[in-house]
Amino acid sequence: MKFLFAGFIHAFLVLCACNLYAQEKNELPAIDTTKQNNSSVNPPKLFINCASWNCYQDFVRTELNFFDYVRDRFEADIQILIITQDNAAGGQQYTLTFIGQQKWLGQTDTLRFATKQADSDEMIRQKLVRHLKLGLVRFEMPAEFNDSVTIDFKKRSAEKAMVQQDRWNYWVFNLGTQGNLSGGSNQFNLWLNNYASAQRITNKSKLTFSANYSQNIQEYTIQGEKFSAKTENANGNVLYVKSLGEHWSVGGGYTFQSSVFRNYHALNQISPALEYNAFKTSENTKHQLRFLYQAGIRSQNYIEPTIFDLTHEVLPYQRLDVTLSLTRTWGSIRTNLSGFQFLHDASKYRVGLGIDFNWRVFEGFSINVSGNANYIKDQIFLPASVFDPTAVLLGARQLPSSFDYYTYFGISYTFGSINNSVVNPRFNDY
């Protein structure tokens, strides 16, 4: 009798363990085993194609665990392309493009929402999930999953439902200060930065103001000898842009700069500008090909006499920027070709090229390349005095140069299971 009772207890525990294991494996309610081989009852597979850093993918997978997630976009039933851009409120404009594949091939949809600068990460990711749900529910799900979908709308009072006028008239202001302090027995580093900005951006126009002041103090003691350098920088900008339809814009700006590094006691610049976008502005999240031309006047007051023995000069200039930006399911690319030239002397110019390229070549394999290079022939601001090597090494003075460049590249390959949607944050900081 004792062995019979022990056997019964053992069998009961085994059945409980099997039941718990089955519940842990299945995110959805149990499905009749006679239908498990039918692909129509499997949850749709999603591929999150995030072209931005703030897509909160772990949170999305946790909140939307009804779906299966794959690492290969070609294996997905629905691909979601997420793109963010800075908006007029100091936050982000999210564009969610839902691209149907497999049985939903040819079905696409786009949703947009905006965040504010004051929004917390929690507020942003909750709004992201709400819009993902809204976009996904537009895809006709198998009948077996109808009970898993709920739709609700927040109720408002009659007073709040009325359109309210923006009491700030679309103006957004930002004030801040930041800094860092580090040191040791033989070194000291202090960096401080203060900034302010104001902007009013609508579909028809853009008006922005910005200003900042920073200073950096560095001191090192090597074998009893002290080396130090102090740099100060001040910048101010005003920009106004008027939209002239889907392709053209006109405007201009004013710039002020004071920089020890660039030998500017005061630089004042004013320049009208004209821009043409080969694509419609309403399609800017997908592609842009912009040509921006500006021509203006610079008044330059120098801290030290320049290599041309000048302490002040007023010079006309022109500048052209060509920017190509594409965001696709295979990745993204952004290139900028710029040219600057002083008009009083055609030999004083600068040409630069920048690129940021991300390509998902095939499942798990991606290539990232970014960088910029400049050919420099416009350093008329260089001081004539003999340079101090200490100031150069500590970043307080600029050296003459005919070119500069910066590059970054990365190649990554991930392989293994493409269907694991589990999020487990334990020991992430270990």
For residue 356, the cross-strand partners are 334, 370
* C-alpha–C-alpha distance, residues 39 and 286, integer Å: 33
The pLDDT of residue 38: 40
The pLDDT of residue 268: 97
Q: Which amino acid is at 46?
A: L
Burial of 9 (0-12, 13-18, 19+ CB in 10 A): exposed
* C-alpha–C-alpha distance, residues 101 and 108, integer Å: 9
Look up residue 349 and give its two tokens: 């110019």
* C-alpha–C-alpha distance, residues 228 and 222, integer Å: 11
Nearest to 272 by CA among 299, 247, 239, 246: 239
pLDDT tops 90 at residue 324: yes
pLDDT classification of 25: cutoffs 50, 70, 90 = very low
Residue count of the chain, please give it: 430
Domains identified in the chain and CATH numbers: 42-143 (3.40.50.10070), 172-413 (2.40.160)
Nearest to 420 by CA among 77, 45, 40, 41: 45
The answer to whether 360 and 378 are in contact (CB under 8 A) is no
The pLDDT of residue 238: 96
Percent of the chain exceeding pLDDT 70 equals 80
pLDDT tens, position by position, 48-101: 888 677 788 878 888 888 888 887 788 888 999 988 888 776 788 888 999 988
Helix or strand (DSSP H, E) at 11: helix 2-25
pLDDT classification of 419: cutoffs 50, 70, 90 = low
Q: Is the pTM of this model over 0.85?
A: no
* C-alpha–C-alpha distance, residues 266 and 23, integer Å: 70
The pLDDT of residue 123: 83
* Per-position DSSP letters for 57-94, written without gaps between them: HHHHHHHTTTSEE-S-GGG-SEEEEEEEEE-TTSSEEE
* C-alpha–C-alpha distance, residues 118 and 130, integer Å: 19
pLDDT tens, position by position, 111-125: 888 888 777 778 888
The answer to whether 215 and 231 are in contact (CB under 8 A) is yes
Q: What is the mean pLDDT of residues 385-412?
A: 83
pLDDT tops 50 at residue 34: no
